[in-house]
Amino acid sequence: MINVSLLDLVVGVSGALDYVSQTVTGHHRRVAVSCIPMAREIGIDSCSYTDLLIAALLHDIGAFSLDLDLNALDFDADLTEHSVAGYRLLKGHPALLRAAQIIRNHHTPWHELQTRHEEADSEMLLLSNIVNLMDRVDILSKVGARAFTRDKIRDIIGNYSPLFYNEQAIEAFMDVSASPAFWESVRDETIQMREMADGLFNDRHIPEEQLIDFSRLFSYVIDFRSRHTATHSQGVAETATQLAKLAGMDEAETLRMRLAGNLHDIGKIALPLSLLDKPGKLKPIEFNHVQHHVQVGEQILKSISGLGEISDWACQHHERLNGKGYPYGLKEEALSLGSRIMAVADVYTAITEDRPYREGMTPEEARSVMTSLSKSRSLDSDIVGLLLDNFDELNAVRTIAQAKALRDFKMFRNASQDILT
Ligand SMILES: [Fe+2]
Ligand SMILES: [Fe+2]
Ligand SMILES: [Fe+2]
């Protein structure tokens, strides 16, 4: 039984966003921490704190999937694209719908929000504006050439036109930011979201089937950055699930394998697109960088308590039975059935996919590569045997799963290009 809380999951994914660039390190967490005193000051119903926290923790998630340069996300630019992309990524899950709606408008000026009569949820519009304002405050105070002092930030925000920010929100900021404690809580890197959210966050444990939906959604955040990776996690998850069934895992374990497959490459969020999409052979230093995705993934998944063996299955997908894998060079005695299945599913899916530097292999070529990897004791020969014995069936379900992911990817990209429709 997996026992994962919504808060832990969202904080874990928000932490993953920190790996993308130094500009955003801690940004989502700081915005979330500062939104709560604002909501209290304004008198927002505490039932909405959960949605506000989730929205603040994930507000720029759309920028990652569109691979926008976060350094360039300036307030003079059109920021609708990543706001709408974040909304489209998260809205599919009922527990994230309201947070998605808040994210959709997190750069929309207040006067524009006032014209959205069709959106009857006026509190949600105010929550968007709070995230917008606190995002602005954090950008103004970020370390570097553009950092402003607290007094200067108060001066800038206090003079903002109510066309941009809700008047009540500006007043609330002037009140809460008068206290040094506000700034210290925002700056305190040791502050734990769990301590802060305690009593505010309507936390709950997520049923396993819902967790699958969450994990697929987060696999899209990582995979949709590039056409070459857009369907990878779904192919791995489907293959791992089918192999788990064939290897005799029960229903609950099989579900966990799908979850691990969805999350196995979560560390790739830390890789620049130039490496993922490089059309030639990687230089040794670049290869080291790519290998590092496993350790980043491990840090992210281990920070989400309750995942148990799922993190090991996900994080050991590049380990090899003969000890020649990475990152730890584990040998067969240390590799569980789940980790062995994940390795086979990952290699098999990867070699059948088109990459910038080569076309995907034909089924015959893939069979022969898998056979030789089993002979060299890179991959478990029993699992590879299951794959080869059931090849046509497995190949068909993997193809269907990846075709669905490709449709979702195209819809996401097209919708993002056509954001005003
Ligand atoms: Fe943003
Ligand atoms: Fe990987
Ligand atoms: Fe992978």
Q: 321-378 pLDDT, tens per residue?
A: 999 999 999 999 999 999 999 999 999 999 999 888 888 999 999 999 999 999 999 9
Residues 309 and 333 placed together within one structural domain of the fold = yes
Burial class (CB in 10 A: 0-12, 13-18, 19+), 62: buried
Q: Please tell me the predicted confidence (pLDDT) of residue 299.
A: 92
Q: Which two tokens stand for residue 360?
A: 């995907």
| Of the candidate ranges 7-21, 39-53, 61-75, 86-100, the one whose mean pLDDT is the lowest | 61-75
Instruction: Report the separation in Å between the CA atom of 30 and the middle of ligand 2, taken as the mean of its atom positions.
Output: 30
Q: Please tell me the predicted confidence (pLDDT) of residue 42.
A: 95
Per the CB < 8 A criterion, the answer to whether 49 and 333 are in contact is no
Residues 89 and 15 placed together within one structural domain of the fold = yes
CA 367, 373, 375, 377 torsion-angle sign: negative
Q: Please tell me the predicted confidence (pLDDT) of residue 228.
A: 85
pLDDT at 214 over 80: yes
| Ligand closest to CA 229 | 3
Residues 132 and 263 placed together within one structural domain of the fold = no
- Provide mean pLDDT across the span 197-202: 70
Helix and strand numbers (H, E) in the chain are 23, 0
Residue corresponding to tokens 């070529």: 365
Maximum alpha-carbon separation in the chain: 71
Instruction: Report the separation in Å between the CA atom of 319 and the middle of ligand 3, taken as the mean of its atom positions.
Output: 12
Does 206 or 41 have the greater pLDDT score? Answer: 41
Instruction: Report the separation in Å between the CA atom of 294 and the middle of ligand 3, taken as the mean of its atom positions.
Output: 10
Residues 306 and 360 placed together within one structural domain of the fold = yes
Q: Please tell me the predicted confidence (pLDDT) of residue 392.
A: 95
Q: Please tell me the predicted confidence (pLDDT) of residue 153.
A: 93
Cα(41)–Cα(36) distance, rounded to whole angstroms? Answer: 9
Per the CB < 8 A criterion, the answer to whether 234 and 219 are in contact is yes
User: Of 26-35, 224-233, 340-349, where does the model show the most confidence?
Assistant: 340-349
Domain of residue 314, residue span = 209-417
Instruction: Report the separation in Å between the CA atom of 350 and the middle of ligand 2, taken as the mean of its atom positions.
Output: 9
Give how far Cα 163 sits from Cα of 112, 129, 170, 363, 400, Å: 8, 11, 11, 60, 49
pLDDT at 253 over 90: yes
Q: Please tell me the predicted confidence (pLDDT) of residue 316.
A: 98
Residues 191 and 215 placed together within one structural domain of the fold = no
Cα(303)–Cα(101) distance, rounded to whole angstroms? Answer: 27
**Phi, psi angle pair for 225, to nearest 5°:** -65, -30
Instruction: Report the separation in Å between the CA atom of 154 and the middle of ligand 3, taken as the mean of its atom positions.
Output: 46
Choose among 358, 123, 419, 386: nearest CA to 248: 386
Instruction: Report the separation in Å between the CA atom of 60 and the middle of ligand 1, taken as the mean of its atom positions.
Output: 5
- Provide mean pLDDT across the span 210-233: 89
Does residue 204 belong to any structural domain of this protein?
Answer: no
Instruction: Report the separation in Å between the CA atom of 68 and the middle of ligand 1, taken as the mean of its atom positions.
Output: 11
Choose among 244, 265, 212: nearest CA to 344: 244
pLDDT at 419 over 50: no
Does residue 385 belong to any structural domain of this protein?
Answer: yes
Per the CB < 8 A criterion, the answer to whether 55 and 102 are in contact is yes
Q: Please tell me the predicted confidence (pLDDT) of residue 272.
A: 83
pLDDT at 77 over 70: no
Amino acid sitting at position 13: V
**Which residues have CB atoms below 5 A from the ion given as ligand 3?**
265, 346
pLDDT at 195 over 50: yes
Q: Which two tokens stand for residue 150?
A: 């607290």
pLDDT at 144 over 60: no
Q: Please tell me the predicted confidence (pLDDT) of residue 189.
A: 62
- Provide mean pLDDT across the span 202-231: 86
Cα(370)–Cα(376) distance, rounded to whole angstroms? Answer: 10
| Ligand closest to CA 348 | 3
Confidence band for 69, pLDDT divided at 50, 70 and 90 = low
pLDDT at 145 over 60: no
Domain boundary among 161, 176, 197: 197
Residue corresponding to tokens 């299951």: 386
Q: Please tell me the predicted confidence (pLDDT) of residue 420.
A: 38
Angle between helices 122-140 and 150-158 (to 10 degrees): 140
For residue 361, the domain's CATH number is: 1.10.3210.10
Mean pLDDT (the chain) is: 88
| Ligand closest to CA 128 | 1
Instruction: Report the separation in Å between the CA atom of 44 and the middle of ligand 2, taken as the mean of its atom positions.
Output: 43
Domain boundary among 153, 174, 197: 197
Q: Please tell me the predicted confidence (pLDDT) of residue 188.
A: 67
Instruction: Report the separation in Å between the CA atom of 258 and the middle of ligand 2, taken as the mean of its atom positions.
Output: 15
Instruction: Report the separation in Å between the CA atom of 414 and the middle of ligand 2, taken as the mean of its atom positions.
Output: 27
Instruction: Report the separation in Å between the CA atom of 253 and the middle of ligand 1, taken as the mean of its atom positions.
Output: 38
Confidence band for 173, pLDDT divided at 50, 70 and 90 = very high
Does residue 202 belong to any structural domain of this protein?
Answer: no
Domain boundary among 197, 221, 249: 197
Instruction: Report the separation in Å between the CA atom of 235 and the middle of ligand 2, taken as the mean of its atom positions.
Output: 13
- Provide mean pLDDT across the span 191-210: 74
Residues 145 and 291 placed together within one structural domain of the fold = no
Residue corresponding to tokens 């819902």: 210
Of all residues in the chain, the percent with pLDDT exceeding 90 is: 57
Cα(244)–Cα(256) distance, rounded to whole angstroms? Answer: 10
- Count up the domains in the chain and report the number: 2
